[in-house]
Amino acid sequence: MIVHQQHNSLGNHHYNAFFYENCEWFYHFHKNYELIYVLSGEVELTLNGTEYLLTADTFALILPNEFHAYHTPAQSVAWVGVFSADFVSEFAMLTQNRSASTPVFSCKPQIREFLLKYLITDTVPDRLLLKSALYAVCSEFLKAVSLNPSTSENNFIYDILSYISLNFREEISLAAVADAFGYEYHYLSRQFHKHFHLNFKQLLNIYRADYAREQLIHTDTEITEIAHLSGFQTMRTFNRVFKEQTGMTPSEFRSSSRHPKA
Given strand 50-54, what is the order of strands in its sheet?
A: 3-4, 25-29, 68-71, 43-47, 50-54
pTM value is 0.72
Most confidently predicted of 86-100, 156-170, 188-202: 86-100
What is the per-residue pLDDT across 197-235, written as a single tens digit (0 to 9) for each?
778 998 899 889 888 988 998 899 999 999 999 999 999
Q: How wide is the angle at C-alpha 113 spanned by C-alphas 112 and 119, nearest 5°?
A: 80
Q: How wide is the angle at C-alpha 194 spanned by C-alphas 193 and 196, nearest 5°?
A: 60
The per-residue pLDDT for 159 is 80
Most confidently predicted of 13-22, 89-98, 127-136, 176-185: 127-136
Distance CA(214)–CA(229), nearest Å, equals 12
pLDDT tier, 34 (very low <50, low <70, confident <90, very high otherwise): very high
The per-residue pLDDT for 16 is 93
The larger pLDDT score, comparing residue 188 to residue 60, is at 60
Distance CA(179)–CA(214), nearest Å, equals 30
Report the chain's terminal Cα–Cα distance, integer Å.
33
Q: Which amino acid is at 63?
A: L
